[in-house]
Every structure is written in structure tokens, then in C-alpha cells.
Amino acid sequence: MQCFYAPETDLHDPIFRLTNGKIQRNAERAERARLMMAGLEQMGLSTETPPEAPRSTLEAVHTEKFLAFLETAWEEWQKLPDCGPEVVPQVFPKSEVATYPENIVARAGWHFGDTSAPIGEHSWTASRRAADCAVAAADVVLGGAPSAYALCRPAGHHTSADIAAGHCLMNNSAIAAARLRTEHARVATLDIDVHHGNGTQEIFYDRADVMTCSVHADPSDYYPFNVGHAHETGRGEGLGFNLNIPLPRTTTDEAWLEAIAASLEAIAAFQPGALMVSLGLDAHENDPLLGMKVSFDGFRRAGEMIATAGYPTVLVQEGGYLSPDLTTSLASFLSGFLGREG
């Protein structure tokens, strides 16, 4: 299986995070890539550096205003008096009646849903190269490979067409799905990150050609809180093509795997030409974000189930945070997916 990773993504190593009113170190650290690279090495997999994807692949998902903001925000922020080292929103100016702002402070609030995805000096380069990994993996599958993996940092599934949030900048998963859609009449997405893929859901919520499925911790008491409920099934032409399966934070292997099986059953009825998997590893029992209690064997069995479904599949890395177990979580999933021992 071909795997893609861009060293430039390590340049994104954010500092700021606000949790329950307390400033903490951001969880989306560059060290995550080292831990996941070790998981690939355990499986005997090497990585390739992706080519730069056409900007049109980004514009298939994101608005031009949003992309321009990501590209220029840090430099404009540095012109503010006594500014901090990262772009962190402090006002959220959207309302029922609102005009797109020119001021960088206001634009930061316009394009962010929370304070957990700060933009540093190299964040644009990193997020651009992460998207390149996702596109490269999709192109390999479009070229006939059964599967490919994109090690993307920063993650992406909380970002909508024009609002970034939850440690995410560009939505790499949605970009990969849209790329697959260029040659397949129907594409399915399966998000197994412990957090609901709210950005991916919003991007495709009105569409009947991309089915979105997400298995995640119940948002009634877990991020992203206000979206990800079972009653959200799509809108307009997309009605019936969005599936959410929220689970308690006490969830262990069997219930988690049953939810994935239910998602795959719905995907089978949809009959997609290809599948994009948002591969979050933060459902593991030792992940520091404490969302669920899935074991290494649970990840292995999930990988096996998804591979057995038989679709041309793009794996796009989402969450999974700093723990020595992150390496083994990735190797466990891939051992099941590839049908061999880790």
C-alpha cells in the first residue's frame, strides 16, 4: 500500500489551546507524525512525498475566501500591535445580518469555530501539504490501487467549507472524497475518529452523491457538542445520505465494531464506487482525550472489517493524540486492513 507524508507538515506545531477556561498546550503537536511513522515502519510501510495538488482540488471543498485567509492570516496578524505568535480568534462576528470583514481580527473569528486551531507561521504550508497527501492517496486509488494512506497533519474533519475548528485547518478527508468523486458517481465516507466529523458532514449534507457516516462519542457531552446526533440524516437532495452513530464514552470494542458494521451495511446499500475513511485513532482506551475505550484488537478488527467491504479505499489520518500507544493503534488497524500481522 502506498503511503504519503510531507515533512513540511511538521512545521505546524501549535501552542495555544483553551479547555474549560484554562490555557493549555495544543494537542495537535508535530510529534504525532513521528509516532505514526513508527506505526508504518512496524508494518514495513514506507512513505512518499506527494506532488503539489492543483488548487482546484482544494476549491472543490473550500471557498476561495477561506483559502485566502489561511494563506495570508499569519502575516497580516503580525502587523497587529503587540500580537501573539499565533492567530487565535477573539471575536466571532457572524450573525444573521453580517458583512464579510476586512479586519484580520474579525476575519479570524469569521473563519474559526473555536480557539483550538491556531495558525502559526508555517501553518498554511503544512495544511497545504497535508491536503496534497490526501489528493495523492486519492489519485493512487483512482489509478487502480485497492487502497492508499495519507498521513495528514493538521487533521481536517472538523473544518467546513469556510470555518476551521477542532485542531483542523483544511478538510483533507473531504478533499480526498471530492477527488474520488471526479471519477465515481457515488463516494462514501466513513469517519471512525472518536469525535464527530462535523465539517465533513456539513460539506456534503445537501448531496446525494456522497454518503457520510460517522461513529463517534455522544456529542451531548463531548466535542463538537452541538452536532453529530442520530437525527441528523441529511437535507434536501442529501436527505437519507448522512448517518451518525453516537456512542457513550464508556464504549468498548464490541459496541464500537457493531456501529462500524452498521455503517458499512448502510454504505453497501448506497453502492459507492469508492470509500474514504477518516482514520481517527483517538477512540483508543489510552488516548489522552478520553473519548472511548477501544483496544488494539478493536482497531485490528475494524481494519479487517473495512477491508473486507471491498471498496477502493483512501485512508486519511485524522485524530489520535500523544501517547506511546498511538504507534501501536495505527499498526493494529493496518494489520487488520492489510490482512497481516503487525
Catalytic sites, residue numbers:
158
Residue 26's Cα: distance from chain center in Å?
Answer: 16
SS3 content of the chain, % helix, strand, coil (to 5): 40, 15, 45
CB-CB contact of 62 with 171 (8 Å): yes
Q: Which cell goes with 31?
A: 510529534
State the first-to-last Cα distance of the chain, in angstroms, to the nearest integer.
14
Report DSSP letters for 144-178, one per residue: T-SEEEE--SS--TT--SS-B-TT-SS-HHHHHHH
Classified as helix, coil or strand, 18 is: strand
Find the angle CA(18)-CA(319)-CA(15) to the nearest 5 degrees: 35
Q: Which of 331, 330, 329 is nearest to 342 (CA)?
A: 331
Within 10 A of 231 (CB to CB), how many other CB atoms are there? 5
Find the angle CA(174)-CA(54)-CA(62) to the nearest 5 degrees: 40
